[in-house]
Amino acid sequence: MLELDLSLLDKTATVTIIIFVGAIAGEYAYRVTKRILQEAKIVNKLKAIGLNKPINTLSNLSRFAVYLFIFLILIKLEIVQFFVDVLGLLLIIFIVFALLFIVKDLVKNIYFSSKIKQKLKPGQHIETTGLSGYINKVSLGKIKITTKDRNLAVISKEFLAKNKFKIHK
């Protein structure tokens, strides 16, 4: 039996190296299988049994076989739980950062919406720097405008708050 007592740094390094080597080996297996199948010229026979894209299908199968082998090695070394814990932690960190960006954008949109003193409604004609047209839709962070050429333009409320604009009734 393979039993290792690894510290946190050792586990991280081991998982990283095994996954890196597995990714390289999987890609190598994919390319070798693809080349062998191309040179063997058995594509028509494989299509006859129902494989639409036999070279890609079998090449991907060899790649995933290597990935499965690497996963089994991680299970054998009993560091899969550590790997799952690290992935879980990374997922939580990603979610926190995503929520921070969402809140930042929301606060910015609310702030610039409050800076615009005029009431913007669909159907109004608006004129601003380099753009003129009728308002189609007003949302929290942006305004959709149809220009005289019937093009759809989207401008942010931040742009309107920082630049001069006129509303024609």
Specify the pLDDT at position 28. Answer: 93
Residues 6+ apart with CB under 8 A from 118: 167
Q: What confidence tens digit (pLDDT) does each residue in 76-99 have? A: 777 777 777 777 888 899 999 999
Residue 5 has pLDDT above 60, yes or no: no
Per-residue confidence band for 15, with pLDDT thresholds at 50, 70 and 90: confident
What are the Cα distances from residue 152, in Å, to 59, 104, 134, 155, 156? 45, 27, 10, 10, 13
> Residue 116's pLDDT band (boundaries 50, 70, 90)?
confident
Burial of 79 (C-beta count, 10 Å sphere; 0-12/13-18/19+):
buried
What is the 8-class DSSP label of residue 51? Answer: -
Angstrom distance (rounded) from CA 116 to CA 158: 9
Element of type H or E holding 153: strand 152-156
